[in-house]
Copies of this chain bind each other. A is one copy, B any other.
Amino acid sequence: MQITTVDSLLEYEIAQTAHFIFHIEAAFHEGHRVLEERLTITPSMKVRHFSDDRSGNRFVRLDAPRGILSINYHAKVEINPLPEQLNLPECPVSNLPDEVLRYLMPSRYCESDSLSRAAQQMFGQLPTGVQRVTAINDWMQTAIEYLPGYNDGHTSAQEVFVQRAGVSRDFAHLGIALCRALNIPARLVVGYVKFAAPPQDFHAVYEAWLDQQWVVFDPTQKASIDKLVRVGTGRDTKDVAFATAFGNVQLLQKTLRIDEAEQSLNTIGQTDAAS
């Protein structure tokens, strides 16, 4: 059984009372079981929790007073094995579930409409199914350079397609846009996973709708997605930003510690009982 332990710390300087929406807790999601979790906000203040019943995304809203705000999330999560990615067919548009259709549409950072012809030209003739999505990811591996700091946070899939560099969010946005342009519903997934090389950071991957289910892909291949603690899913980064601040604030620190362990079922059981 895969257990991932997360400790994330965000620290801000607040110039005057600011409203925050944090999205840093493990999602309500059938793919994992939260064994323990703890959210610590300093200074202590009233917060409002809410979750989106469609996605299972969880949010914390608060009004931070002038001064220093720190928010720490600790969780220990048991992650279910991912299904095998073999022989997964695409689903004809006419069979897509109604609630999945929204993930076919272009969004702010995934302009599948603009990239429609490029996607068709590059991947339209390939065998359909999971191997087509894999072909998109393989192409990104060779064509797009993983280059932290190259783009700012406003870079969209179309720009990544031209600029050929980015971080995990950019790779995922481009993968999503290309899938949607091929009539494969796709959505962004953000979460915690250990990178092979530091520094640790929030990670973004994406899911494509294949064989009547969401199947996750990491086009950066920087981490083991079977150990990813899912925080949220959305149309693109704007649905699942880790923090959205309204007001004059400055991020002072972002520190993530992520431990991954494989444990026997027995141990899990005990932990579970204790939590």
* CB pair B162 A114 closer than 8 Å: yes
- A275 in contact (CB, < 8 A): no
- A29 in contact (CB, < 8 A): no
Q: Which residues of B contact A107 (CB under 8 A)?
A: 107-108, 238
Chain B nearest CB from A112 CB (Å) reads: 9
* CB pair B117 A145 closer than 8 Å: yes
- Which chain B residue lies CB-closest to A119? B164
Q: Which residues of B contact A113 (CB under 8 A)?
A: 108, 154
Per-residue CB proximity of A250-261 to B under 8 Å, as 1/0? Answer: 000000000000
Q: Which residues of B contact A142 (CB under 8 A)?
A: 121
- A118 in contact (CB, < 8 A): yes
Q: Which residues of B contact A80 (CB under 8 A)?
A: none
* CB pair A162 B94 closer than 8 Å: no
**Docked pose: A113 CA to B237 CA in angstroms:** 12
State which residues 166-183 of A face B: CB under 8 Å: 183
- A36 in contact (CB, < 8 A): no
Sort chain A's interface into a size bin.
Answer: 35 or more
- A28 in contact (CB, < 8 A): no
* CB pair B59 A98 closer than 8 Å: yes
- A101 in contact (CB, < 8 A): yes
How many copies of the polypeptide does the oligomer hold? 4
Q: Which residues of B contact A163 (CB under 8 A)?
A: 114, 117-118
* CB pair A63 B94 closer than 8 Å: yes
- A33 in contact (CB, < 8 A): no
**Docked pose: A12 CA to B61 CA in angstroms:** 48
- A10 in contact (CB, < 8 A): no
Q: Which residues of B contact A19 (CB under 8 A)?
A: 92-94
Q: Which residues of B contact A102 (CB under 8 A)?
A: 239
Per-residue CB proximity of A90-109 to B under 8 Å, as 1/0? Answer: 00111000100110011110
- A161 in contact (CB, < 8 A): yes
State which residues 108-135 of A face B: CB under 8 Å: 108, 111, 113-115, 117-118, 121-122
- A50 in contact (CB, < 8 A): yes
* CB pair A115 B239 closer than 8 Å: no
Contact of A61 among B59, B94, B143, B145 (CB under 8 A): B94
**Docked pose: A107 CA to B111 CA in angstroms:** 10
Q: Which residues of B contact A238 (CB under 8 A)?
A: 105-107
Say yes or no: A61-B98 contact (C-beta < 8 A), given A162-B158, A238-B106.
yes
- A88 in contact (CB, < 8 A): no
- Which chain B residue lies CB-closest to A159? B114
* CB pair A105 B239 closer than 8 Å: yes
* CB pair B121 A143 closer than 8 Å: yes
Q: Which residues of B contact A161 (CB under 8 A)?
A: 162
